Amino acid sequence: MTEPRGPVDASRVPRFAGPATFARLPRLDEVSRADVAVVGIPFDSGVSYRPGARFGPAAVREASRLLRPYHPGLDVSPFARLQVADAGDIACNPFDIKEAIATIEAAAQDLSAPGTRLVTIGGDHTIALPLLRVVHRLHGPVALLHFDAHLDTWDTYFGAEYTHGTPFRRAIEEGLLDTEAISHVGTRGPLYGKQDLDDDARMGFGIVTSADVMRRGPDEVAAMLRERIGDRPLYISIDIDVLDPAHAPGTGTPEAGGLTSRELLEILRGLAGCNLVGADVVEVAPAYDHAEITSIAASHVAYDLISLLALKEKP
């Protein structure tokens, strides 16, 4: 097997030059295989408040120019251990949510060749449902870690079943998740009523609030999550609004009292060794963040997810 082709050398090509791919990695059509495909889904027609996450994939790719090939926190060089490639964007209908979901599902299925795992950059959280359908087809019901300020298990918005606030209720209804191992992390803020929590618990979700993270710390939280997950196939879905607006102002539905970027990254690093089979980072809306704080955080989150996938492989 040929050695992985990594990013452009930043000592030879300045970071503000070179390819506009994620971390300046090769495009998928430039390599013979991909262990990990980074794919953008610029879709935000499922949002209930501020639009703009359709521009998230491009902004995260731009911020990822600052990433370097060695991860000291996890002691891994992910781009040397895995062939990671940028698969570009899945283009879907911005006017028809059901058609867009079908397009995303079909394209993600095509990209999920044997041995290829997807790290997806959204886009709003609607996209998690078709991605979970594809993962379920490959692995059966999966454990889920859902990092988010919100539950995203509501039933409908204005009578619409498919929105960024409903994907995990639909996933439960479709049997995509292992309900013994599903958790929200970082939730906070007002709800429509206590019934929201009752419905969520009935589906099987455990909740680690942002206040829990603050009181217990990232290491204890990661240990709790690992115990719940076990060795099950794991999907991680990260809404960037899990971070406090101080750390991620560029998102559609910000809530005060969130995680710091350091807390989120440390929890992810505490999951090293879990059987991660796919992940997404969503709801980056760069129009509300002119300092690129949110895109920078999201690029590092995606990098840590790729690094977790790399740790599954033998050196």
Q: What is the dihedral angle through the alpha carbons of 263, 268, 273, 276, rounded to the nearest 10 degrees?
A: 160
User: Is 148 known to sit in a ligand binding site?
Assistant: yes
SS3 content of the chain, % helix, strand, coil (to 5): 40, 20, 40
8 A C-beta contact, residue 14 and residue 65: no
CB 252 within 8 A of CB 283: yes
Reading the block at residue 5, the tokens are 């082709």
On whether 150 is known to bind a ligand per the annotation, the reply is yes
Task: Enumerate the H helices of the chain as residue ranges.
Answer: 56-63, 78-81, 97-111, 128-139, 167-173, 194-203, 210-216, 218-229, 261-269, 293-311
Residue type at 228? R
- The maximal CA–CA distance of the chain, rounded, in angstroms, is 57
Instruction: Work out the angle between the directed axes of helices 293-311 and 261-269 (0-180°, nearest 10).
Output: 10
Q: Measured between alpha carbons, how far is 62 from 197 in angstroms, rounded to an integer?
A: 38
Dihedral pair phi/psi, residue 177, rounded to 5°: -115, 145
Q: Cα(211)–Cα(75) distance, rounded to whole angstroms? A: 30
CA–CA distance, 192 with 42 (Å, rounded to integer):
29
User: Which residues carry a binding-site annotation for Mn(2+)?
Assistant: 125, 148, 150, 152, 239, 241
User: Which residues carry a binding-site annotation?
Assistant: 125, 148, 150, 152, 239, 241
